[in-house]
Structure 1
Amino acid sequence: MAGQGTERPWQVRATFLARNTNNLIRNVIENLKVQPNPEKKLIPLSLGDPTVFGNITPPEELLQAVRDSIDNNKSRTYGPTNGQLEARQAVADYSIHQGRVTADDVILTSGCAHALELAITVLAEDGQNILVPRPGYMIYMTLAEGLGIQIKYYDLLPEQKWKVDLGSLQKQIDDKTAAIVVINPSNPCGSVYSEEHLLEILDIASKNRVPIIADEIYEHFVFSGHKYTAMSALSKDVPILTCSGLTKRFLVPGWRMGWLIVHDRNNIFGKEIRQGLRNLCGRLLGPTTLIQHALPSILTSMPQHFFDGVMFFIESQAKLACEALQRAPGLRPIMPQGSMYMMIEIKVSMFSEFQNDLQFIERLYSEQSVLCIPGQCFYYPNFMRIVLTVPEEILREACQRIIAFCKDHATPKEKHMEMITNKLSVDKEWRVIY
């Protein structure tokens, strides 16, 4: 019998969920086999946190809203699992650009990642699949695969400013596809889709009767000459779960305040999906009430010049990095249209020492103490992603180190004249895109 004697060995195993939950970016970065050069100060261009260096900070109005919340007893009590009514109404009012939104359509979450988890788990289950862009942020894999939900990838087109390859998207859809994830503006690509292109994606979703999970955490995070359009504002019949939050635009990722908005004009989701979302909210009992109570003030008191200033700075950084890294042999930067990242192609064939992007990143880290994210973290080899929110002088220094590294390791030109000629030709095309 159990508890008698010691014949029975201990057998304690992690669950299938725990064994199959992986954060690809964190796993790669935390398991690098090299250390940075101790003679050079580390420059991390890896973490998508705009607050790390302290050079861009939220305005006083936002901070005061939370100070006021501290003094209110309601900010210390439990709240409804889907969020306080006043806070949900504030999000609904703020999200008018998404189409008609009521407080009943809004669920407050512990960051945008939690909103994405709710969206995935209410729509998909073991044996089904969701479609994710490649390259794309890999939190979807982290959230889904431990539940037995398969991730299938549709391709983006770098030569077309990372637009969706519509043929690839259509090809991936099958009778087990539960949802299509669309990231706009994009992490890691920095693309911002036109209304025309969003309508093309919606048309495929409509014809195949597949709902969309719209990851719009970078909503309004666009550069001059480009326009962000909420996917839900264009949909006539496709039901959409839009996920966003304070993290990026308001520069407070550590506050973990996000939201999910249900857009279902034709009642395709019905009561079951909405009730399922409410049920899932009961697992965490709602996000922090301290920030919830401050949310109405946060979403209405922020001056527009603050947002404009942040975007002007990041766009200037993108131009700086794109122009500088075009001088690095073997690299091809792609000018983004928004968000806070840039994808850079690594022509690995021009670096005979390296077999892939990870080896390139590791050596760059060990020699120049510059840390970038390898493309394989986005299932897109021979690219790397850099973050653009670091101070200007640090970004300039990082670019100079990357250029020096490429010059040190690129195969001698005389052995690759044809390759270099081809590169110059392609670079000319990319500069037109830029």
Structure 2
Amino acid sequence: MSRRTRGRQEWDVRASTLARNTTNTIRNVVENLVVEPNPQKEFIALSIGDPTTFGNLNPPEQVLEAIKESVETAKSRGYAPAKGHLEAREAVAEYSAHQGNVTANDVILSSGASHAIELAITALADSGQNILAPRPGFMIYQTLAEGLGITVKYYNLLPDEQWKVDIDDLESQIDEDTAAIVVINPSNPCGSVYDKDHLVEILDVASRNHVPIIADEIYEHFAFSGHKFHAISSLSKDVPILTCSGLTKRFLVPGWRMGWVIIHDRHNIFGKEIRKGLNNLATRILGPSVLVQLALPNILKYTPQSFFDDVILFIENQAKSAYEVLRRAPGLRPIMPQGAMYMMIGIQMSLFPTIKNEIQFVERLVKEQSVFCLPGKCFEYPNYMRIVLTVPEEYLREACQRIILFCKEHVDYGDKRKEIENDDVTVTNTIEVLSESDISVHP
């Protein structure tokens, strides 16, 4: 006896709209690069934003001990409330006091800072709306938003002003469908650290246009000497803010996937709806690792300040070293960072006539010198590349020397300049001699 089928007549299994429309710009660019290193030279990757990659930076013993104690606790093996255990959220609230008045009720724990960003975006924006993100900027916002039908619009940063926000451009991007403004401070990939006055300018735009802010502050404690980090939430008079941060960078444990969203809403503009929405969204994965949650109070309380100071000093010295070397590279324009762990380097493509664009520049740098940097296309910013500063000192020094050698072998000043002497290029300051038009600062 045959049975009548109620389903399809043949197999037709397709990926969902979300799956089809989700892309990761960095992964897409990197996977399509032709990166076969020079077998005669050790490969040096200045591309990965993971401070633990080379093994030279490790968490302190206090952090590891906190996890060991958590392993022995029976409570660490069970489920937690979706937004996180109370004692963990209380610890985050105390740790984040510099952001303003924060209580445990304002904290939602997440599986890393990227998940915190996803919670913030999906709590504030619907399909058909848009969020504003910086260019150049961390492209996870595009990855998380566009699959949901949320458009990412970009506002420009100004390389000649230490990557400050172009305030006029920011405001011009806002329309009635703008659900949030993303502010990344300190910046990935630029390494900028905004002062109070500039943050107030950004807040003024948000306030005039009644648009909330998503503050990406994962590098909140990564400010170099002479610069001070200010949480944008601590300066806001009326703009509601969702701040995203976590353990990842400062505590050198990105693989532990522990982040958080903090709600700042002095005038109850978000009301109960956004808080409830965030709580609802947290139930989708039932919270991050309980093992790490139970270790959080001890991690946040007992990690010595000397550990943080040493890490920041190392990265700052790396930045200074790389800047001093690469500013002598013909055709390059490094921009000294003020914090975080990256440096953006402008490439005067007109001086490299045999190289089509920054992607090909990066490919040939790998092929000839076995040094891998991320091309500006990964950050929606052509004619630049980004390097990571957390690699061991000897690797960074060697990589910078190879980059200089590569530039000397391929630079062609043409009619602009012909002061090439033997193996050295006479560069008093190439940037002063050449036109600013040689580097495209706006895509």
- TM-score bracket, normalised by the shorter chain, equals over 0.9
Task: Give the equivalent residue in structure 1 for 2:441.
Answer: none
- C-alpha change, 1:4 and 1:342, in structure 2 (3 Å) is same
CA-to-aligned-CA distance 1:211-265 (integer Å, 9 cap, x gap): 0000000011010000000000000100000000000011000000000000000
Task: Give the equivalent residue in structure 2 for 1:225.
Answer: 226
Task: Give the equivalent residue in structure 2 for 1:144.
Answer: 145
Q: CA deviation at 1:424?
A: 3.8
Letter in 1 for 2:24: N
Q: How does 1:384-403 map to 2 (within 5 A)?
A: 384-403=385-404
Task: Give the equivalent residue in structure 2 for 1:51.
Answer: 52
Letter in 2 for 1:269: F
**CA root-mean-square deviation:** 2.0
Equivalent-residue separation in structure 2 for 1:426 and 1:75 (angstroms): 62
Task: Give the equivalent residue in structure 1 for 2:174.
Answer: 173
Task: Give the equivalent residue in structure 2 for 1:425.
Answer: 432
Q: CA deviation at 1:187?
A: 0.2
Equivalent-residue separation in structure 2 for 1:416 and 1:18 (angstroms): 50
Structure 1 contact 332–427 (Cα < 8 Å) conserved: no
Letter in 2 for 1:331: L
Structure 2 contact 373–385 (Cα < 8 Å) conserved: yes
Equivalent-residue separation in structure 1 for 2:209 and 2:201 (angstroms): 13
CA-to-aligned-CA distance 1:64-123 (integer Å, 9 cap, x gap): 000000000011110000000000000000000000000000000000000000000000
- C-alpha change, 1:294 and 1:200, in structure 2 (3 Å) is same
Equivalent-residue separation in structure 1 for 2:6 and 2:222 (angstroms): 64
Equivalent-residue separation in structure 2 for 1:141 and 1:133 (angstroms): 11
Task: Give the equivalent residue in structure 1 for 2:267.
Answer: 266
Equivalent-residue separation in structure 2 for 1:45 and 1:312 (angstroms): 19
Q: CA deviation at 1:417?
A: 2.1
Task: Give the equivalent residue in structure 1 for 2:376.
Answer: 375
Structure 1 contact 65–297 (Cα < 8 Å) conserved: yes
Secondary structure at the aligned position of 1:219 is classed as: coil
Task: Give the equivalent residue in structure 2 for 1:321.
Answer: 322
CA-to-aligned-CA distance 1:142-161 (integer Å, 9 cap, x gap): 00000000000000000000
Aligned length: 428
Secondary structure at the aligned position of 1:400 is classed as: helix
Overall identity of the aligned pairs, in %: 67
2:87 maps to 1:114 = no
TM-score (norm 1): 0.96
Equivalent-residue separation in structure 1 for 2:194 and 2:368 (angstroms): 37
Structure 2 contact 373–387 (Cα < 8 Å) conserved: yes
Equivalent-residue separation in structure 2 for 1:10 and 1:73 (angstroms): 47
Secondary structure at the aligned position of 1:417 is classed as: coil
Q: How does 1:276-295 map to 2 (within 5 A)?
A: 276-295=277-296
Structure 2 contact 416–434 (Cα < 8 Å) conserved: no
CA-to-aligned-CA distance 1:175-197 (integer Å, 9 cap, x gap): 00000000000000000000000
Q: How does 1:55-70 map to 2 (within 5 A)?
A: 55-70=56-71
Letter in 2 for 1:16: T
Secondary structure at the aligned position of 1:415 is classed as: coil
Letter in 2 for 1:226: H
Q: Which ranges of structure 2 fall in alignment gaps of 5 or more residues?
A: 420-426, 437-443
Q: CA deviation at 1:327?
A: 1.3
Q: CA deviation at 1:332?
A: 0.4
Equivalent-residue separation in structure 2 for 1:255 and 1:43 (angstroms): 25
Q: CA deviation at 1:355?
A: 1.6
Structure 2 contact 330–430 (Cα < 8 Å) conserved: no
TM-score (norm 2): 0.94
Equivalent-residue separation in structure 1 for 2:125 and 2:80 (angstroms): 28
Q: How does 1:23-422 map to 2 (within 5 A)?
A: 23-411=24-412, 413-417=413-417
Secondary structure at the aligned position of 1:147 is classed as: coil
Equivalent-residue separation in structure 1 for 2:418 and 2:101 (angstroms): 56
Task: Give the equivalent residue in structure 2 for 1:432.
Answer: none
Q: CA deviation at 1:169?
A: 0.3
Task: Give the equivalent residue in structure 1 for 2:12.
Answer: 11
Structure 2 contact 248–258 (Cα < 8 Å) conserved: yes
Moved more, 50-59 or 33-42: 33-42
- C-alpha change, 1:216 and 1:7, in structure 2 (3 Å) is closer
Secondary structure at the aligned position of 2:54 is classed as: coil
Equivalent-residue separation in structure 1 for 2:272 and 2:10 (angstroms): 48
Moved more, 239-248 or 361-370: 361-370
Structure 1 contact 343–386 (Cα < 8 Å) conserved: yes
Q: CA deviation at 1:3?
A: 7.2
Q: CA deviation at 1:378?
A: 0.5
- C-alpha change, 1:7 and 1:112, in structure 2 (3 Å) is closer
- C-alpha change, 1:7 and 1:396, in structure 2 (3 Å) is closer
Letter in 2 for 1:67: K
- C-alpha change, 1:263 and 1:6, in structure 2 (3 Å) is closer
Structure 2 contact 218–249 (Cα < 8 Å) conserved: yes
Letter in 1 for 2:348: K
